Amino acid sequence: MHFNIIFLSFILLSSLFVEASAQATNETPFVKIGVLSHRGDEKTLKMWGPTANYLIAKLPQYDFEIVPLDFDAVEPAVKAEAVDFILVNSGIYVNLEAKYNVTRLATMINLRNSAPYSIFGGVIFAHSDRDDIQRLEDTQGKSFMAVDETSLGGFQMAWREFNAIGINPYHHFSRLEFGGIHDKVVMAVISGEIDIGTVRTGILERMSNAGLIDIDELKIINPKKNAKFPSLHSTRLYPEWPFSQLEHTDSQLAREVAVALFQMPKIDPALQAGKYAGWSIPLDYHEVHALFKQLKLPPYSSLSQLTITEAIKRYWYWVIASMVALLALLGLTSMVVRHNRELQYRQRRLERRHQLINESVADGIYGVDLVGNCTFINRAMTEMTGWTPEDLIGKNQHLILHHTHEDGSPFPRTDCPVYQSSFDNQPRFVEDDIFWKKNGSYISVEYSCTPLRGLRGETRGSVVVFRDISARKQAQKHVEEHQLQLAHVGRLSTLGEMASGIAHELNQPLTAISTNARACIRLLEADVDNAENCADVMEKIASQAERAGGVIRHIRHFTHKELPNIKPAKLKSMLNVVLDLVDREIKSKKIILELDLDQDAQWVMAQDIQVEQVILNLVRNAIESLESMPKAKRKLMIKTRSMPRGKVEIRVTDTGRGIKKVIQEQLFEPFMTTKDNGMGLGLSISQGIIEAHGSQIKVETPIGHSGVSFYFGLLQSSAKEVEEMKYA
Ligand code: ADP
């Protein structure tokens, strides 16, 4: 109320000011009032011409003119500023307000059924017989008729109510029709042609008053009560047509016009012609906006599109940049996907190749992790050992393959070369070992374990590649046995020759001894006093016996009949030859070998092959003696020492059972043996060889342990002799 008084006094003051200035300039400017003309230009001019006349009379300094505008002409006229004021329905008004800043100055007070109202609404109705249609919800699936799709009171107001309860007229009615005029909608419902209808407020009362319908034949759906608005209605109420100024319209003029409209007397012919009751101060059109927003109708349907368009216009460079980035991203993604596919393909191929290699190699291969568990095995391993991947993978390989030595003694895990390789990161090659098979037997193997390193050089386990050497070992054993047999046969044949030689040599003196002995017996039988003759014969016997002894002595020197070809020989090389020959034996019998070679006594004067034979003999005897000892006590030591007077001592010591004193005295006699299969010639021949080198083999019992120590000396060769030998 307070606001209204201030507003009116402000407008009155401004009108006085406008009047004064117009008189001063003596001009009569044209003022155009655009009016929505839905019943033809003539009718519009007839209805609204008197209102223009009223304004001319009221504001003579202006020449007011009515411009009828049909529906499509309204917006272009406003856009082109072809009119200064506009009088349109509330729906068109909110559009113009949103788009062109059109401002309402007054709201029309309409004369409906002789009563003045500046608000109106919509009424939804059905035939009163229709018991099935009571509430708005019951309208679903029924036929529906409204006045016009763009009619605010004749459709859109009802639509908003339906929309609020989730009914979409375009989808949820069995039929949606538009009658064009209000009366047709009412008649269609009364006749039963349509189930439900909607028209603007006042229509039903008007038709009933005119006797066109019996209002009791209709029932109002969703009826609403409002003390200030007694007409039948089903929807919210909205303000009537506003009289508005355009953005360009002079504000002073606008104020003058508004004041004039508010002051329109009740008896003015303009009211009669326009069928309205006057003008009120402008009402709030917020509800009309809300309706259009909810139904997403213009201006709110195009507003979002407009926003997008404007956004594109304003931020086009971002849009382009985003598109380019998106395209680049798409390109990149497709490239990554392609590369990924390629990588996967290659990886599969590599894995396949890897698998093929693993499966086709004849050697067994398996992987071990840092705790000694098996990580993979190949097919050859399964074929050789009988263990399958299920048996081994994830389990401790040592406990399955390696737990025990060939002789049944336990194989501690910490001694396992595979475990050690993973532990100290050092590759290892083992040339003779065994792997236990699934069936409880074992195979002889040689294998390498190579540490597996990660990208940063850290150990990640090891790979073991092994080969079954059982067949090779068997073949080697055969060869050795064969060689032994050959050597035995050789020795037997030498012995045979020697025996026949001895027989031949001894035959004569023995025959003579026997003949003479018999002769002597005969002589003694014939005459006991034939002592002189007997003595002669005994003399012959003695000389023949001496001859036989000479033969034996001769045999002793048989081996060194020829003077050996003595020259500088490298001790280490001779020892290597010997050790190569006994290496397998030493290992298989678990004998610990200790070599202690004097670096100052490397060269000696020797017939190398013969001295090798001597050392071999001593070493073989030692090995044979050690065989009877427990494994822990089997030790063989070979030592060289330079001695006074340019000599080098070679000593072979063992920790074996030793030699009894009585046997020691006859050791170097031929055929002296304590072995079942021995010949007792080894030491005697060896002594002969060493004597031919101007020395002697001696024997002593070592101090501090069991066994025996054989040693002999050889002349050390001078540097000059060595040089000469090298250049010979
Ligand atoms: P054989 O070995 O054929 O018996 P040898 O002349 O080589 O002939 O040895 C003679 C004997 O000396 C052997 O039978 C053995 O009793 C004894 N003998 C030799 N070397 C050793 C040794 N290192 N330890 C114990 N006894 C030994």
Give 413-459 pLDDT, tens digit per residue. 888 888 888 778 889 999 889 999 999 999 999 999 999 888 787 88
Total number of domains in the chain: 4
In this structure, is residue 517 part of a structural domain?
A: no
| 625 and 648 assigned to the same domain | yes
Q: Which atom of ligand 1 is nearest to the CA of 707?
A: 24
* Ligand 1 binding site (Cβ under 6 Å of any ligand atom): 617, 621-622, 625, 654, 656, 659, 663, 667, 672-675, 678-684, 708
In this structure, is residue 53 part of a structural domain?
A: yes
Which residue among 222, 238, 254 closes a domain? 238
Cα 186–240–249 angle (5° rounding)? 140
pLDDT surpasses 50 at 303: no
In this structure, is residue 676 part of a structural domain?
A: yes
For the chain, give the mean pLDDT.
86
C-alpha to C-alpha distances, 436 to 261, 362, 380, 429, nearest whole angstrom? 118, 18, 15, 18
pLDDT surpasses 60 at 7: no
- Whole-model pTM: value is 0.42
| 139 and 79 assigned to the same domain | no
> Nearest-CA neighbor of 102 among 241, 303, 291?
241
- More confident call, 395 vs 308: 395
Residue 425 confidence (pLDDT): 84
Q: Which atom of ligand 1 is nearest to the CA of 622?
A: 23
Percentage of the chain modeled with pLDDT above 70: 89
Q: What is the mean pLDDT of residues 526-542?
A: 77
| 12 and 87 assigned to the same domain | yes
| 196 and 285 assigned to the same domain | no
Band (pLDDT 50/70/90 cuts) for residue 494 is: low
Q: Which atom of ligand 1 is nearest to the CA of 668?
A: 6
Band (pLDDT 50/70/90 cuts) for residue 619 is: very high
Residue 300 confidence (pLDDT): 83
Give 620-641 pLDDT, tens digit per residue. 999 999 999 998 899 999 999 9
Calculate how far, in angstroms, residue 621's C-alpha sits from the geometric centre of ligand 1. Answer: 6
> Nearest-CA neighbor of 636 among 566, 671, 669, 589?
589
Q: Do 190 and 218 form a contact (C-beta atoms < 8 A)?
A: yes
| 612 and 665 assigned to the same domain | yes
- More confident call, 710 vs 645: 710
Q: What is the mean pLDDT of residues 366-384?
A: 91
In this structure, is residue 711 part of a structural domain?
A: yes
- Cis amide linkage into residue 299, ω under 30° from 0: yes
Residue 56 confidence (pLDDT): 95
Residue 244 confidence (pLDDT): 97
pLDDT surpasses 50 at 20: no
Which residue among 238, 258, 276 closes a domain? 238
Whole-angstrom Cα distance, residue 92 to residue 524?
180
Ligand 1: which of 617, 673, 701, 706 to mutate, judged by most atoms within 8 Å of the beta carbon? 673
| 93 and 205 assigned to the same domain | no
Q: What is the mean pLDDT of residues 233-251?
A: 95
Calculate how far, in angstroms, residue 606's C-alpha sits from the geometric centre of ligand 1. Answer: 24
Calculate how far, in angstroms, residue 547's C-alpha sits from the geometric centre of ligand 1. Answer: 30
- Atom 21 of ligand 1, nearest CA residue: 621
Q: Which atom of ligand 1 is nearest to the CA of 673?
A: 14
In this structure, is residue 38 part of a structural domain?
A: yes
Residue 2 confidence (pLDDT): 44
Give 93-119 pLDDT, tens digit per residue. 999 999 999 999 999 999 887 889 999
| 139 and 245 assigned to the same domain | no
Band (pLDDT 50/70/90 cuts) for residue 556 is: low
| 643 and 670 assigned to the same domain | yes
**What residues form DSSP beta bridges with 179?**
none
- Any idea what the CATH number is for the domain that residue 630 is in? 3.30.565.10
Q: Do 499 and 486 form a contact (C-beta atoms < 8 A)?
A: no
**What residues form DSSP beta bridges with 238?**
120
Ligand 1: which of 619, 621, 662, 712 to mutate, judged by most atoms within 8 Å of the beta carbon? 621
Give 644-683 pLDDT, tens digit per residue. 989 999 999 999 999 998 888 889 987 888 888 777 888 9
- Atom 12 of ligand 1, nearest CA residue: 667
Strands, E assignment, 188-334 = 196-200, 218-221, 238-239, 242-245, 276-280
In this structure, is residue 482 part of a structural domain?
A: no
- Atom 1 of ligand 1, nearest CA residue: 680
| 135 and 281 assigned to the same domain | no
Give 190-234 pLDDT, tens digit per residue. 999 999 999 999 999 999 999 999 999 999 999 999 988 999 999
| 169 and 71 assigned to the same domain | no
Band (pLDDT 50/70/90 cuts) for residue 310 is: low
Calculate how far, in angstroms, residue 659's C-alpha sits from the geometric centre of ligand 1. Answer: 8
Two tokens, residue 397: 């390989």
- Atom 19 of ligand 1, nearest CA residue: 621
Q: What is the mean pLDDT of residues 349-359?
A: 83
Range of the domain at 68: 2-115+241-295
AA letter at 469 = I
Calculate how far, in angstroms, residue 622's C-alpha sits from the geometric centre of ligand 1. Answer: 8
Q: Do 64 and 33 form a contact (C-beta atoms < 8 A)?
A: yes
Residue 504 confidence (pLDDT): 63
Ligand 1: which of 683, 690, 699, 700 to mutate, judged by most atoms within 8 Å of the beta carbon? 683
Band (pLDDT 50/70/90 cuts) for residue 484 is: low
Calculate how far, in angstroms, residue 663's C-alpha sits from the geometric centre of ligand 1. Answer: 9
Which residue among 468, 492, 519 closes a domain? 468
Residue reference for tokens 């050791």: 667
Residue 422 confidence (pLDDT): 77
Whole-angstrom Cα distance, residue 237 to residue 162?
15
In this structure, is residue 365 part of a structural domain?
A: yes
| 281 and 381 assigned to the same domain | no
Q: What is the mean pLDDT of residues 267-287?
A: 93
Calculate how far, in angstroms, residue 658's C-alpha sits from the geometric centre of ligand 1. Answer: 10
| 134 and 192 assigned to the same domain | yes
Calculate how far, in angstroms, residue 602's C-alpha sits from the geometric centre of ligand 1. Answer: 28
Calculate how far, in angstroms, residue 630's C-alpha sits from the geometric centre of ligand 1. Answer: 19
Whole-angstrom Cα distance, residue 90 to residue 73?
16
In this structure, is residue 666 part of a structural domain?
A: yes
- Any idea what the CATH number is for the domain that residue 378 is in? 3.30.450.20
pLDDT surpasses 90 at 545: no
Calculate how far, in angstroms, residue 626's C-alpha sits from the geometric centre of ligand 1. Answer: 12
- Any idea what the CATH number is for the domain that residue 261 is in? 3.40.190.10
Percentage of the chain modeled with pLDDT above 90: 57
Calculate how far, in angstroms, residue 550's C-alpha sits from the geometric centre of ligand 1. Answer: 26
